[in-house]
A and B are shown apart, each in its own frame.
Chain A
Amino acid sequence: MTENTPDENTAPNRGMPLWVQITVWTVLIALLVVVFMGLQRAKEGNVQAGAETGEFDFTMPLFEGYEHEGEQEISLTDLRGKIVVLNFWASWCVTCKDEAVELEEAWRFYQPEGEVVFIGVDYVDTEPEARGYLETYDITYPNGPDMGTRISQAFRIQGVPETYFLDRDGVVQHVQLGPFRSTEQILNIVNSLLAE
């Protein structure tokens, strides 16, 4: 039925009100932008080699019994000028155990010279279990909990264990996803960074 019937409302047929059009288009575009950004972020994955860490301004508290240069906390920005080995782990993470010994060995190798700093970032863990883990593997390099998961979010880690190697300028030079195969592997990477 497309004919008009006599008693139909004969109000003038206007187009869609302008404010409605503007609102709807704005909302649609905003939604698409947000979704697009979300897609980008989902694809991003963890921080890659070459990334600057200048803005990762975090201070991480250390577990009791650990200290760095007399302080109970450690800050990435303070470590400029040194090579940093940043290792994400957790006590409930099975494969982390495969590299615990190797990491400690590498630390002890570099510690005397003070050119390389190993930092252990404990990812969403419980303190008693974490300390148990550290004791079991006799780990002596600075370790602390990642409060509020700020650090792991900054590095966009996809799981544990992950290790990030930063050069003296704080630029990520190498990323290791998963446990190391051997202490030699760690030494090789650090040596190449020291050589630069």
Chain B
Amino acid sequence: MLPSLGYGILVITLLVIIYSVAVAIYGEVKKSAAMVESARRAMLLALPLITAASAILIYLLVNDRYEVEYVWSVTNRSMPMYLKITAWWGGQPGSLLFWSFLLSTFTSAVTLRKWDRDRELLPWVLVVTGVTLAFFISLNVFFENPFKLVPAGVSIPLDGRGLNPLLRHPGMIIHPPAQYLGFVAFTIPFAFAIASLITGRTDDRWIRITRRWTLWAWLFLSLGLVLGMRWAYDVLGWGGYWGWDPVEIAALMPWLTGTAFLHSVMIQEKRGMLKHWNMILIILTFDLVIFGTFLTRSGVLSSVHAFAQSEIGPLFFTFIGFIFFASFGLLTKRWADLKAETEMKSMLSKEALFLLNNLLFLSLLVISFWGVIFPLLSELFTGSKVSVGPPFYERATGPIWGALMLLMGVAPLSAWGISTFKTLGRSIWKPALASLIAPIWAISVGITNWVALIGFTLIGLVIAVTIREFWRGASARSRKSGENFFTELQKLIKRDRRRYGGYIIHISMVLMGIGIIGIELFQSDTQQHLGIGDQVELAGYTVQYDRLDQFRHEDGRFITRGEMSLSKDGKYLGTLAPRFDLYPDGQPMTIPAVRSTLVDDVYIILVNWEGITAESTPFKVYHNPLVKWVWIGGYVFIAGIIIAAWKDEEKEKI
């Protein structure tokens, strides 16, 4: 009963959305405000409907209703409650429903805003978001029904298959939602952009309206990526956090254009330039979101992350074709109307540097896109399969990340309109000098890797320049007003949250850069077979193998647990217990033991696939310098975005 109800609600939702889109178009054509209002209300109705359908699905998941195929495939009785709820997005049908749910909340939020100033945009925003929402719900309704029952005649299974052990982790609670939120949220700026194109409005109203949406979308997209990295580090057991896997790249690509867009709209706001380019960027971002989603779900590309083979390919393909053609077609039509107010006085002005930023991000995009699609091309045109792996991406993108860091250090000092070598030089020589502390210190502790030295110098530069920006403003104000420095600092930030929040985000990026340089350039590892009492030495640490326990957990897992004591220079630092769990259905899971400090991580795993006995237990020990800074950078990033997105003191009437 309940599953059919769930499916029925989905069908009704689809019809409601189709109604909304159709009536919005018709109402706009017939200039009927009443019809457009009806369309708006219909779109609003979609949210409670999808919420109801989702609630039903969660109920079925939590109550072990294995007559529903999806419930069987992603849960089992031994899973804790929180995992059963997250199983909502644990498989293809459920995660598509989750996507629709998130999109619907955003669409409803947009529908509820005050439309007085922008009445003409409303119908088209409804149409764009409605078509996208209708597409995703169609995937559920026609191909991947989450409420589908096990075939008639087959008896209801007594227990479910359960979530892939790799997904049974707190990361499952936050990483997919953050990632999907990022993807979905970009639909809104895109919808407004398209609405502008359709209605022929050539100003930057759409950018102002969606400024905060874009910021939040970008926040979630970035957060999704960082959480994904953290989860991989915690769970995958290969001491790494990013593998340049196609699914990872699919999430990275919209982030690249999204970051370019974030910067580029500032140019449009300040100088009225680049209207065409901003349109291109937001269209690219949205198209990449959809394309990336398609790549990871259709089976076209092979990946460790990919969902199972599915029927949704063709419909997805049609939708992609449609949005490519429609968005680009519209842009071509309106190209001449987007007035060019362009003047570029100086190649070192802020506009010019922002454009350089865009060039760099798009170069990263080109490399990622080509790399991800190349195996497919190779197989289609030559019949031979090739792999494009980390060495390709790292070598190609490394220098570009470095150039971006240099830009982060220089651009804040440049001015809108004019900057010359002289003016920049005057502002930068002190921070540049200060940044030399970094390589000097690095050399003094024995680092000779020149890539690391350059990287640390650039990081030092960005930090020095950014701190200087805060300092300069706050100290000038405090000298003038007589109030103390910190009060003025707070006031300063409040006056221009976007700028200073942005600066904090830059700092967070280079903090992450510290961690990335540490682990990429200085990681060391060793794999050895140890008997009880044996020791391993790595990077000055000594790991001693103390004991091995093998036992069956009450939930059916067979657990192998090793205990090691960690010491350095004779000083005992702690006990680490790496584990290997074998689930009742045969799925294995390696759980690393990690000791993490600001300086480095010691990361130990049981190499379960080489055979474990007490006399000869294979261990792999990783030494990951500075990797904690990646996560610290993540926290600073969140703080920076919240500051940047918070409403400024003087209210803008949007």
Contact = CB atoms under 8 A, between A and B. Distances in A.
A binds B: yes
Interface of A: 1-2, 4, 8-9, 11, 13-16, 21, 24-25, 28, 31-32, 34-39, 41-43, 148-149, 153
23 contacts: A1-B203, A2-B202, A9-B341, A14-B336, A15-B336, A16-B332, A25-B328, A31-B373, A32-B317, A32-B320, A34-B373, A34-B380, A35-B294, A35-B317, A35-B376, A38-B376, A38-B380, A39-B299, A39-B317, A43-B313, A148-B384, A149-B385, A153-B384
Contacts of A21: 332
Given A4-B339, A9-B342, A35-B320, 16 more contacts: A9-B340, A13-B340, A15-B336, A16-B331, A24-B328, A25-B328, A32-B317, A32-B321, A34-B373, A34-B380, A35-B317, A36-B317, A39-B298, A39-B313, A39-B317, A153-B384
Nearest to B287: A28
B198 to A, nearest CB: 16
A15 B340 CA distance: 11
Interface of B: 201-203, 272, 294, 298-301, 309, 313-314, 317, 320-321, 324-325, 328, 331-332, 335-343, 373, 376-377, 379-380, 383-385
A117 B345 CA distance: 79
A13 B385 CA distance: 47
A42 B309 contact: yes
A41 B324 CA distance: 23
Nearest to A17: B335
A188 to B, nearest CB: 28
B531 to A, nearest CB: 27
**By DSSP majority rule, is chain A's interface helix, strand, loop, or mixed?**
helix
B341 to A, nearest CB: 5
Nearest to B302: A42
A13 B337 contact: yes
A25 B325 CA distance: 8
Contacts of A8: 272, 339, 341
A43 B299 CA distance: 8
A28 B326 CA distance: 12
A100 B336 CA distance: 71
A41 B378 CA distance: 13
A37 B380 contact: yes
A36 B314 CA distance: 8
A123 to B, nearest CB: 14
Nearest to A36: B317
B324 A28 contact: yes
B400 to A, nearest CB: 22
Given A13-B336, A16-B332, A24-B328, A42 B203 contact: no
A28 B380 contact: no
Contacts of A9: 340-343
A111 B249 CA distance: 53
A148 B384 CA distance: 9
A9 B314 CA distance: 46
